[in-house]
Chains A and B, each alone.
Chain A
């Protein structure tokens, strides 16, 4: 076994752990900026994982996907979000409905739930249960972030984490979708983030805040 294969195998074996930790930290972060940076870190872990898979399976498509993840999710989207959050000039807090410690406990519970749920599935299909659990936990935590954070920007981060989870789920169960579909999803995501950025600006210009819970007063 060569050094490359060895490193690839170890990356695959340990990346789930790093994903769990980023999920926990995103849930307990106090400022939007740290959430965005942690999201970039999470995507970097996923990139490493795809590269490892690519080198184990000798697939060129996977390398292309890894490059796209690196460009879009690790660099472009966090950069755009950081710019938006710098130019919004609202408070840097995530303004969550739960305290950081409560969020950490809830995220921990979601991780455990994910682990318990995927066990039979992983056993039947002989898949890596840790990776499956990490993907499911990311889907759940993304949803949790979206319902518990009042800032419009954090809803974007929540959705991105959720999307990461779905992407990872596809990666572990089917070893990645066809390249064309992946590309489509990435462009979708990029356009979506840009639209959302513009949308958040419009919310702030019209209402002078980005608090989603206060949009409820708009009812006629």
Chain B
């Protein structure tokens, strides 16, 4: 029974990922006084791309085709670590949060490799920028999760979520507050959202993610884009699970799961609106200011870890 709900959780993350992206685009459009595309457009895009021809540059090696597949697989494996509706996960007993962080790192490594294999100068540029951003984002991401792991006396994400879920929602500890701020900042950098990277442009010299996928087409591009939206959903779910898991199903009853689905949808909707408002209100950072941004996140996450000493 637990296995069943674990599989459903992973499938849910994968299936709603494009919808989440469509909804962010839609809310952003509404904020900017435009009508915006349908929220289901990302599904149509994926369907279209999967039926198209996969063009490979003449200079590319076998890696070029392999990278999107590894990227997708690693992101999928990472998604299997995160509890969504019930405080358990498919790979929860096999690995801890450190494995989750490095699954994402593995995915990113192959994305960078594929971008450089494509041979275009844009790919190389995007790849080196992505490498810089991810190197700097890794420390705050790990530190923030280490802080939560220390206070909850567990390295498994499922039990970290369970530990927060049974606590009093109003008893805010400084550790959680700092870790939340740091992790939210990292989420924006990791998923390439506005202050760090602009996800909607193909024609900027400062683009990061779009520069990397410029050479890709057809099913490979579909896999990359899908993996990217899964990563965004995963980070959102991680934020919800670690800092506001209340409402998550304690037992596998029909009623409990119904409440879990409703609260999860509500929290995701809040995060979507927050992200869309942020992206509409904030200008993109210059590339040289991104290390500053992540440095602040790093300071806050270090503070979170040190505060575990004072935690009650």
Residues of A in contact with B (beta carbons under 8 Å apart): 10, 13-14, 16-18, 20-21, 24, 28, 99-102, 104-105, 107-108, 111-112, 115, 129-130
B173 — which chain A residues lie within 8 A by C-beta?
17
Instruction: Establish whether residues A13 and B174, one from each chain, have CB atoms under 8 Å apart when the complex forms.
Output: no
Instruction: Establish whether residues A115 and B300, one from each chain, have CB atoms under 8 Å apart when the complex forms.
Output: no
Cα–Cα, bound, A111→B302 (Å): 12
A99 — which chain B residues lie within 8 A by C-beta?
292, 295
Instruction: Establish whether residues B296 and A112, one from each chain, have CB atoms under 8 Å apart when the complex forms.
Output: no
Instruction: Establish whether residues A17 and B177, one from each chain, have CB atoms under 8 Å apart when the complex forms.
Output: yes
Instruction: Establish whether residues B170 and A13, one from each chain, have CB atoms under 8 Å apart when the complex forms.
Output: yes
* Chain B interface, >50% SS class: helix
Any A CB within 8 A of the CB of B181: yes
Q: How large is the interface on B (under 10, 10 to 19, 20 to 34, 35 or more residues)?
A: 20 to 34
- Select from chain A the residue with minimum beta-carbon distance to B176: A17
Query: In residues 158-173 of chain B, which contact A (Cβ within 8 Å)?
Result: 170-173
Cα–Cα, bound, A13→B299 (Å): 24
Cα–Cα, bound, A207→B294 (Å): 36
A108 — which chain B residues lie within 8 A by C-beta?
299-300, 302-303
Instruction: Establish whether residues B295 and A105, one from each chain, have CB atoms under 8 Å apart when the complex forms.
Output: yes
Q: Given B171, B181, B296, B306, which contacts A101 in the complex, CB threshold below 8 Å?
A: B296
A10 — which chain B residues lie within 8 A by C-beta?
170-171
Any A CB within 8 A of the CB of B178: yes
A105 — which chain B residues lie within 8 A by C-beta?
295, 298-299, 302
Cα–Cα, bound, A115→B171 (Å): 19
Q: Given B177, B181, B295, B307, which contacts A100 in the complex, CB threshold below 8 Å?
A: B295
Any A CB within 8 A of the CB of B310: yes
Instruction: Establish whether residues A13 and B296, one from each chain, have CB atoms under 8 Å apart when the complex forms.
Output: no
- Select from chain B the residue with minimum beta-carbon distance to A24: B300
- Chain A nearest CB from B148 CB (Å) reads 15
- Select from chain B the residue with minimum beta-carbon distance to A7: B170
Cα–Cα, bound, A20→B307 (Å): 12
Chain A proximity mask over B276-312: 1 for CB below 8 Å, otherwise 0: 0000000000000001111110111011001100100
A14 — which chain B residues lie within 8 A by C-beta?
170-172
23 contacts between A and B (CB under 8 A): A13-B170, A17-B173, A17-B174, A21-B177, A24-B299, A24-B303, A99-B295, A100-B292, A100-B293, A100-B295, A100-B296, A101-B291, A101-B294, A102-B295, A104-B299, A105-B295, A105-B302, A108-B299, A108-B300, A108-B303, A112-B303, A112-B306, A129-B310
Shortest Cβ-Cβ A-B pairs, 7 listed? A101-B295, A104-B299, A14-B172, A10-B170, A104-B296, A108-B303, A17-B177
Cα–Cα, bound, A100→B195 (Å): 15
Instruction: Establish whether residues B170 and A20, one from each chain, have CB atoms under 8 Å apart when the complex forms.
Output: no
A16 — which chain B residues lie within 8 A by C-beta?
174
- Chain A nearest CB from B282 CB (Å) reads 11
Residue with the highest number of chain B CB atoms closer than 10 Å, among A20, A108, A111? A108
